[in-house]
Amino acid sequence: MAQRIVVIGGGAAGIGAAGAAKAVDAAADIRVYTEFEDVGYSPCGIPYVHGKEIPDFERLFLATKEAYAGQGIDIHYETRATGFDTGRKVVSVAGEGEVGYDKLIVATGFDYADPGVPGTGLGGLYYVKNIRRAMEWDKVLDGVRTAVVVEASPLGLEMVTALCHRGIQTHLIDPGAWALSVATDPDIVAPVQDSWREKGAELHFGTTLTGFLGDGSGSVRAVATSAGEIACDLAVVCTKKQASTGLARAAGVRTGSADGIIVDERMHTSVPDVWAAGDCIEVPHSVTDIPVQGLSGSHAYAQGKVAGTNAAGGQRRYQPVSVPWGMVAGDWMIGGVSFSETLATALGIPHVTGVAEGISRARYYPGVEKVRVKLLADPKTLRLIGAQMVGREGIKERADFLAMAVRTGITVGELATMENVYSPPIGALNEPIALAAQNLLSGLGS
């Protein structure tokens, strides 16, 4: 008899798991339960539709509902799983009763942290997540004159950029001293902030949200902050992504110190025949072993494939993460790996740094741009532990490369003598990563 694999959640992790499980066991009965109208789309692309870089939301769908059905994946849309019993191996599903499973994959994703201030029930507060709601909000944006973006998280940076592109007067409020202060350093994000100001945005750092103020008819008219009121027609709430673990915890699945579901390298949880993947789990950081949660869509999808493969009877492992990241913000690309100086300092991780400003192409080639690279290394071993970069091209590729460098224990000494592609349109004679490594070693007297 075919094994039944139930997946709770239809995001990147859930769909990755369902597809991988089907690939391992074509005969398996695979059911996906999602509370939403759609699965398998890229929510990461939503800010770029709002900003008009992507012309329509339809491009964000990775496959049609018919395609999933054709693959033999039975997806139950707008159907909420309300709990599961790991002893009897059943999932409680609204409108369907109890559904038995042989293997269960929990991919319940994240919720935005509650701002914890008065006024969160007002209209005009936008939480970017669901594509159907995003389509509705995109029409609302046509009539918005002034917007406030609450918190300079990665989504916050993208939404500030998108709203500026839309011609909306945009305010950013954040309690940190600069944008994305948890993950970046001020020298890296400074060009981004300058480009936002050039587009007319107003940045309010060191400013804490204290409430949303209504207009008397139930809609937001302003945000209240520690520095006063800011009038607005719309507030985009970009608070921290918290693991959605309610169902798992109620079923007795253990969670960890990062508040995510505890999993091993096969995405197996503390309960037999239950796997988990995506934003609802925590995974160890490759340098510190400290668990981290709330990574990117690519992490969630890869984790889902591992969970699905193993749940279906295959063998696949996941690695501790080095967290390469990158994004377009303002007129710049920023990115990095693992730690910024700020985060390493906050955690008290010993480190030495080296910085260089290089170029992205031959200096005489049209379109050449500056690339600033900062490397962080362990003072004793000189192994790379982190990096930060800003430029107008070539950031993503460098972040990916440096993530592998962190993962495999490459030292700054090896980076200082790395080979690099030199071709006038695509690469400079001196690679900025190598320059930063050389500067770090020079600073040590090496």
Residues binding another protein (CB under 8 A): 175-178, 181-182, 185-187, 190, 205-206, 226, 254, 256-258, 260, 262-265, 281-286, 288-291, 317, 319-320, 341-343, 345-346, 348-350, 407-409
Nearer to another protein, 15 or 243 (CB): 243
Question: Which residues neighbour 57 within 8 Å (Cβ) at sequence distance 6 or greater?
Answer: 46, 49, 131, 134, 135, 138
Nearer to another protein, 393 or 414 (CB): 414
Minimum Å gap between C-beta 216 and another protein is 32
Nearer to another protein, 342 or 438 (CB): 342
Minimum Å gap between C-beta 21 and another protein is 21
Minimum Å gap between C-beta 218 and another protein is 32
Nearer to another protein, 291 or 324 (CB): 291
The answer to whether residues 221 and 240 touch, using CB atoms and an 8 Å cutoff, is no
Classify 7 as helix, strand or coil: strand
CA-to-CA distance for 442 and 403, rounded, in angstroms? 23
Query: In Å, how far are 21, 70, 348 from 3, measured between CA atoms?
Result: 11, 19, 48
Minimum Å gap between C-beta 397 and another protein is 20
Closest to 103 (Cα-Cα) out of 30, 35, 34 = 30
Minimum Å gap between C-beta 93 and another protein is 28
Nearer to another protein, 45 or 156 (CB): 156
Nearer to another protein, 32 or 209 (CB): 209
Closest to 294 (Cα-Cα) out of 245, 340, 349, 345 = 245
Nearer to another protein, 18 or 344 (CB): 344
Nearer to another protein, 77 or 401 (CB): 401
Minimum Å gap between C-beta 306 and another protein is 12
Sign of CA dihedral 173, 175, 181, 183: negative
Minimum Å gap between C-beta 133 and another protein is 31
Minimum Å gap between C-beta 19 and another protein is 23
Closest to 176 (Cα-Cα) out of 123, 117, 113, 226 = 226
Q: Listing from the earlier edge strand, what are the strands of the sheet with 4-8?
A: 73-76, 29-33, 4-8, 103-106, 274-276
Minimum Å gap between C-beta 346 and another protein is 4
- Residue appearing with tokens 């990096």: 387
CA-to-CA distance for 21 and 32, rounded, in angstroms? 12
Terminal-residue alpha carbon distance, the chain:
66
Pairing of strands 220-225, 228-231: antiparallel
Tokens of 144: 């918005």
Rg, C-alpha atoms of the chain: 23
CA-to-CA distance for 296 and 311, rounded, in angstroms? 22
Nearer to another protein, 226 or 446 (CB): 226
CA-to-CA distance for 105 and 280, rounded, in angstroms? 11
